[in-house]
């Protein structure tokens, strides 16, 4: 099985890239299942119901989120009506939505890192419970670990090695050069990268972030437009759920 994971979709440029290229990319790569992180799809801050439906409509089988899950007003009720758009599973159980789903023989788990992002529960403890639950239905289990710290993402990959098909890091928007398959058969990458404008500071026009660093002012950030590409990871696995390859992808758009 070939599983395509598309890294954080950022704003309108990222959405356009997915809408224009994902259907063809699935065919070119022979993709059986596709996961898209839509954490920043609405102007770099959260997602809307309309955008989520559009991502699902152009080829995403499941959409994962992250720390900006509540970034767009009025989005929360949508999560109560779908199991194809996930919020981090280790948020409070009193919030709407789910963090684990199984579709077409693939389980997807969405988790939020502890360092600076303040989830309700440890991702490591939540992972134990969720992986056991998912394994009752399928051996193919993919974890989107939305986390700040490199060390935390690498540690979770080793912690789950041999128990899941892949642990794929998101959130920091810079694709790392460590895509690999661990000894137990788990594909891993510290960060899958960003789908959006790369002539930017992780998606934003550089002037805004630079002014923030120089002054400390709460400057409003604007989405950049240039250097757009799709970034992500292509994972192959056998019927036993063990990964056989983990290949980063970078696809220029426009």
**245 band by pLDDT with thresholds 50, 70 and 90:** very high
Instruction: Indicate the pTM of the whole model.
Output: 0.96
Tokens 């500071």 found at? 201
> What is the end-to-end Cα distance of the chain in Å, rounded?
29
Cα 220 from Cα 30, distance rounded (Å) = 41
In this prediction, residue 134 carries a pLDDT of 98
Q: What architecture (CATH level 2) is domain 2-252? A: 4-Layer Sandwich (3.60)
Q: Are 66 and 35 in contact (CB under 8 A)?
A: no
> What is the pLDDT averaged over residues 2-22?
98
Percentage of residues of the chain with pLDDT beyond 70: 100
Helix (H) or strand (E) holding 13: helix 11-29
**Nearest-5° Cα angle at 220, 217 to 225:** 135
Q: Write the CB contacts of 44 (distance below 8 Å, at least 6 apart in sequence).
A: 10, 11, 203, 204, 221, 223
Nearest to 33 by CA among 58, 62, 3: 3
pLDDT tens per residue across span 120-156: 999 999 999 999 999 999 999 999 999 999 999 999 9
Burial 113-130 (b: 16+ CB within 10 A, else e): bbeebebebebeebbeeb
pLDDT tens digits along 64-95: 999 999 999 999 999 999 999 999 999 999 99
Query: How many Å separate Cα 54 from the centre of its chain?
Result: 16
SS (H, E, C) 108-159: EEEEECCCCCCCCCCHHHHHHHHHHHHHCCCCCEEEEEECCCHHHHHHHHHH
Q: Indicate the pairing of strand 228-237 with strand 194-197.
A: antiparallel
Name the residue with tokens 């604007």: 222
- Confidence (pLDDT) at 56: 98
For the chain, give every domain's residue range. 2-252
pLDDT-derived band at 254, boundaries 50, 70, 90: confident
Sorting pLDDT into bands at 50, 70 and 90, what band is 98?
A: very high
């Amino acid at each position: 099985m070939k599983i395509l994971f598309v890294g954080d979709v950022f704003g309108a440029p990222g959405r356009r890239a997915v809408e224009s290229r994902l259907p063809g990319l699935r065919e070119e790569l022979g993709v059986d299942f596709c996961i898209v992180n839509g954490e920043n799809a609405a102007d770099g801050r959260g997602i809307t119901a309309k955008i989520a439906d559009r991502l699902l409509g152009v080829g995403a089988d499941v959409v994962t989120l992250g720390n900006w899950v509540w970034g767009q007003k009025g989005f929360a009720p949508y999560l109560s009506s779908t199991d194809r758009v996930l919020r981090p599973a280790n948020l409070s159980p009193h919030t709407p939505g789910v963090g684990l789903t199984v579709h077409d023989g693939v389980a997807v788990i969405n988790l939020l890192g502890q360092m600076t992002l303040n989830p309700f529960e440890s991702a490591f403890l939540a992972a134990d419970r969720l992986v056991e639950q998912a394994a009752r239905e399928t051996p193919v289990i993919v974890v989107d670990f939305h986390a700040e710290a490199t060390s935390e993402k690498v540690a979770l990959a080793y912690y789950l090695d041999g128990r899941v098909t892949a642990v794929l890091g998101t959130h920091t928007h810079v694709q790392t050069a460590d895509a690999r398959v661990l000894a137990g058969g788990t594909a891993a990458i510290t960060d899958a990268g960003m789908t959006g404008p790369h002539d930017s500071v992780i998606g934003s026009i550089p002037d805004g972030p630079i002014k923030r660093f120089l002054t400390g002012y709460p400057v409003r950030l604007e989405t950049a437009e240039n250097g757009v590409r799709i970034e992500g990871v292509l994972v192959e696995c056998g019927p036993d759920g063990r990964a056989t390859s983990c290949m980063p992808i970078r696809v220029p758009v426009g």
